[in-house]
């Protein structure tokens, strides 16, 4: 039996090669995975032209996945440096990389990235349009925007952020509801500006069916972008954000009808006490589609430390049911991240994702923690380093301050509770001198 996309296959009861791979990674029954894909609760972003891909599932009941953003810009146009970041992200087991390149002819970088990446690749086609056509935003035609989508699909992109929720109707809501920080989404601001300059409907909304046809042909998962996501605590959960979320839910239904897999993108900056309710709203309004959040960043006062503010929000969001975390680095709001910034962002996001998986009871999540606890009980430092989420940093910290007793650390020394309890329980002498 033939099928066009993973969603089409699932609806027809066909188990694909990608489903088998994901089921094995997640240690779940493939029939259960198939049913979740058929319902739209899980997606497997896997473009037919991405040959290097090791597929991952995103959605309900699966491990929380993380995404790493990178790409060239006008001020930092170093393709090789960005590719090195991508290689490091893959080495650190990030499941997804988004190419947010916004300058020049990005075809070469995108294709080199797809060629080496076992991680799924996402893009935001509207970013590419300005450099690709080398003309003012106002002068780009709707058909040219759609051609960029098609080019990315042909190149092998697994999922694309499409800002179709900011249409003329949601734009009017934005105009009537004053915000402290207006529109902070790069794609959202570009399309709002295009609509205002041309007095026309958002082409990604007006020609949404054409985009769905492209996605269905290459099995591109559509990530419905949150153009009106809150960019500061003051704007969170406002009328603009919720109106767009309702629109995204309507667009998701249209995508399902054409067998296109859907992810919904979410906030943004948000108070701690609003996160759980926002996840519930997305799941209700968007038919259980996987929720992909940037952070959420839970306070606006920590430039230089936003990997921490983001990890706090990400852990709460994922524990509440969000499925996919977009990492944030210490450089957020300040500059393009370096490879060291990227590493810190990945570690922070992976900690948040794993903490949430423990809370959600994801299968096998606790095995890792229990193995670490057993290694600590035995004071097996090599095993602790092997199990650490960042072995390099753990080894460096210990080597910088070695204890007199190699079993202990320089924090407690002879008063090490673990060492002394091991000895007293086995009847050994415990000497603190």
Position 1 scores a pLDDT of: 64
Whether 186 has a binding-site annotation, put simply, is: yes
Tens digit of each residue's pLDDT (9 = 90 or more) over 374-392? 999 999 999 999 999 999 9
> How far out from the chain centre does Cα 146 lie?
24
Position 429 scores a pLDDT of: 84
Whether 286 has a binding-site annotation, put simply, is: no
Whether 430 is covered by a domain: the verdict is: no
Whether 90 is covered by a domain: the verdict is: yes
Out of 309, 325, 360, a domain closes at 360
Same domain, 232 and 380: no
pLDDT along the chain (433 residues), means of 10: 94 98 98 98 98 98 97 85 95 97 83 97 94 90 97 98 98 97 97 98 98 98 98 98 98 98 97 98 98 97 98 98 98 94 98 98 96 97 97 96 90 91 90 74
Whether 76 has a binding-site annotation, put simply, is: no
Tens digit of each residue's pLDDT (9 = 90 or more) over 284-330? 999 999 999 999 999 999 999 999 999 999 999 999 999 999 999 99
Whether 163 has a binding-site annotation, put simply, is: yes
Whether 1 is covered by a domain: the verdict is: no
3-state SS assignment for residue 63: coil
Whether 340 has a binding-site annotation, put simply, is: no
Report if pTM > 0.85: yes
Whether 417 is covered by a domain: the verdict is: yes
Same domain, 147 and 81: yes
Position 105 scores a pLDDT of: 66
Same domain, 70 and 170: yes
26-31 contacts, C-beta under 8 A, 24 or more apart: 26/57, 26/62, 26/63, 26/363, 27/363, 27/364, 28/61, 28/62, 28/363
Whether 325 has a binding-site annotation, put simply, is: no
Whether 19 has a binding-site annotation, put simply, is: no
Whether 137 is covered by a domain: the verdict is: yes
Same domain, 119 and 255: yes
Same domain, 202 and 126: yes
Helices assigned H by DSSP within 260-380:
272-285, 306-319, 339-360, 365-377
Same domain, 282 and 371: no
Whether 152 has a binding-site annotation, put simply, is: no
Out of 332, 360, 388, a domain closes at 360
Same domain, 201 and 348: yes
Split into its structural domains, the chain has a count of 2
Whether 226 has a binding-site annotation, put simply, is: yes
Same domain, 225 and 321: yes
Whether 15 is covered by a domain: the verdict is: yes
Whether 119 has a binding-site annotation, put simply, is: no
CATH number at residue 69: 3.20.20.540
Same domain, 91 and 145: yes
Same domain, 134 and 277: yes
Whether 358 has a binding-site annotation, put simply, is: no
Same domain, 371 and 356: no
Same domain, 379 and 234: no
Whether 431 is covered by a domain: the verdict is: no
Position 75 scores a pLDDT of: 83
Whether 267 is covered by a domain: the verdict is: yes
Which among 268, 257, 271, 260 has a CA at the least distance from the CA of 292? 268
Whether 416 has a binding-site annotation, put simply, is: yes
Range of the domain at 373: 366-425
Out of 360, 390, 410, a domain closes at 360
């Amino acid at each position: 039996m033939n099928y066009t996309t993973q969603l089409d296959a699932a609806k027809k009861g066909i188990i694909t090669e990608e489903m088998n791979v994901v089921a094995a990674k997640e240690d779940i029954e493939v029939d259960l995975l198939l049913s979740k894909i058929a319902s739209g609760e899980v997606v497997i972003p896997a473009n037919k032209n991405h040959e290097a891909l090791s597929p991952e599932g995103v959605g309900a009941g699966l491990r929380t996945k993380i995404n790493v953003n990178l790409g060239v810009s006008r001020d930092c146009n170093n393709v090789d440096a960005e590719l090195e970041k991508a290689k490091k992200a893959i080495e650190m087991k990030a499941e997804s990389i988004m190419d947010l390149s916004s300058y020049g002819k990005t075809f070469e970088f995108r294709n080199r990235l797809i060629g080496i990446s076992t991680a799924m690749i996402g893009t935001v086609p509207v970013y590419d349009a300005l450099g690709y056509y080398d003309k003012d935003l106002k002068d780009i035609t709707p058909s040219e925007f759609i051609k960029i989508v098609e080019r990315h699909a042909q190149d092998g992109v697994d999922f694309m952020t499409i800002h179709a929720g900011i249409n003329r109707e949601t734009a009017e809501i934005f105009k009537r509801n004053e915000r402290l920080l207006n529109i902070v989404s790069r794609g959202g601001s570009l399309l709002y500006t295009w609509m205002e300059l041309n007095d026309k409907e958002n082409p990604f909304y007006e020609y949404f069916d054409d985009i769905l046809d492209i996605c269905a042909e290459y099995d591109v998962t559509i990530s419905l972008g949150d153009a009106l996501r809150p960019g500061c605590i003051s704007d969170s959960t406002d009328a603009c954000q919720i109106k767009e979320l309702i629109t995204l839910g309507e667009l998701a239904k249209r995508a399902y009808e054409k067998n296109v897999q859907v992810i919904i993108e979410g906030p943004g900056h948000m108070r701690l006490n609003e996160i759980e309710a926002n996840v519930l709203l997305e799941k209700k309004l968007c038919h259980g589609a996987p929720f992909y959040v940037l952070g959420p960043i839970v306070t606006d006062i920590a430039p230089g430390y936003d990997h921490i503010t983001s990890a706090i929000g990400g852990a709460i969001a994922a524990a509440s049911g969000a499925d996919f975390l977009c990492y944030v680095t210490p450089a957020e709001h300040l500059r393009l991240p370096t490879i060291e910034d990227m590493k810190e962002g990945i570690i922070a996001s992976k900690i948040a994702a794993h903490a949430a998986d423990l809370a959600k009871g994801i299968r096998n999540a606790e095995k890792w923690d229990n193995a670490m606890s057993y290694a600590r009980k035995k004071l097996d430092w090599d095993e602790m380093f092997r199990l650490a989420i960042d072995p390099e940093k753990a080894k460096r910290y210990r080597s910088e301050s070695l204890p007199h007793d190699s079993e202990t650390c320089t924090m407690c020394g002879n008063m090490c509770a673990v060492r002394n309890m091991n000895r007293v329980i086995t009847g050994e002498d415990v000497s603190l001198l």
